[in-house]
């Protein structure tokens, strides 16, 4: 930029400034693209983590966060970024049934979902039907704690807790 200011001819000086401006604009555009890509990846990772944590007790979440913080502290970078405010947990989760089993003694069911989560029935009156493998179910957080699974063929929900 200082070189441009030293050019005596008006047209040549203007051309120099125009070229410099175009170069700076190109660098800023590339930097902005990298920032957007990083932000999108971070948002996607955060959403995946919320999906993984859905249904865990607060104790289990705290234990996992403590483990994660310890791992991050071990590989700490001196230029750490400030923490962003966390988004609230989702109110529901949609997944497909991978396995459906029933405990012979208690008659309570255990459902494994395609995302690896395992849910067990906690209702005092056990569910007597079956849920077919591959059925899409919705797990919903209940207002005063706990979770329920809504199965499309069944009108009443199944009250559950997450095991894994």
Q: How many residues does the chain have?
A: 164
Render pLDDT for 101-115 as a digit per residue (tens, 0 to 9): 887 787 788 888 888
Q: Which residue has the higher pLDDT, 77 or 48?
A: 48
What distance in Å separates the CA atoms of residue 113 and residue 149, rounded to the nearest whole number? 11
Render pLDDT for 128-148 as a digit per residue (tens, 0 to 9): 777 788 888 888 888 887 888
Eight-class DSSP state of 81: P
- pLDDT score for 149: 81
What distance in Å separates the CA atoms of residue 67 and residue 91, rounded to the nearest whole number? 25
Render pLDDT for 51-60 as a digit per residue (tens, 0 to 9): 777 777 777 7
Tokens encoding 48: 């995946």
Q: Is the pLDDT of residue 84 over 70?
A: no
Complete DSSP assignment for 7-72: --SHHHHHHHHHHHHHHHHHHHHHHHHHHHHHHHHHHHHHHHHHHHHTT--HHHHHHHHHHHHHHH
Backbone angles phi, psi at 161, to 5 degrees: -135, 155
Backbone angles phi, psi at 12, to 5 degrees: -70, -40
């Amino acid at each position: 930029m200082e070189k441009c200011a030293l050019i005596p001819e008006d047209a040549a000086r203007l051309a120099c400034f125009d070229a410099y401006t175009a170069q700076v604009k190109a660098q800023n555009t590339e930097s902005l693209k990298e920032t957007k890509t990083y932000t999108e990846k971070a948002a996607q990772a955060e959403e995946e983590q919320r999906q993984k944590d859905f249904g865990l007790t607060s104790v289990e979440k705290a234990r996992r966060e403590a483990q994660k913080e310890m791992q991050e502290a071990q590989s700490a970078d001196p230029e750490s970024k400030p923490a962003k405010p966390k988004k609230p947990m989702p109110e529901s989760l949609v997944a497909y049934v991978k396995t459906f089993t029933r405990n012979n003694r208690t008659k309570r069911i255990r459902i494994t979902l395609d995302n690896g989560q395992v849910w067990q029935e906690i209702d005092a009156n056990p569910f007597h039907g079956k849920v077919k493998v591959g059925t899409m179910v919705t797990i919903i957080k209940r207002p005063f704690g706990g979770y329920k699974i809504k199965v499309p063929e069944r009108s009443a929900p199944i009250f559950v807790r997450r095991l894994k």
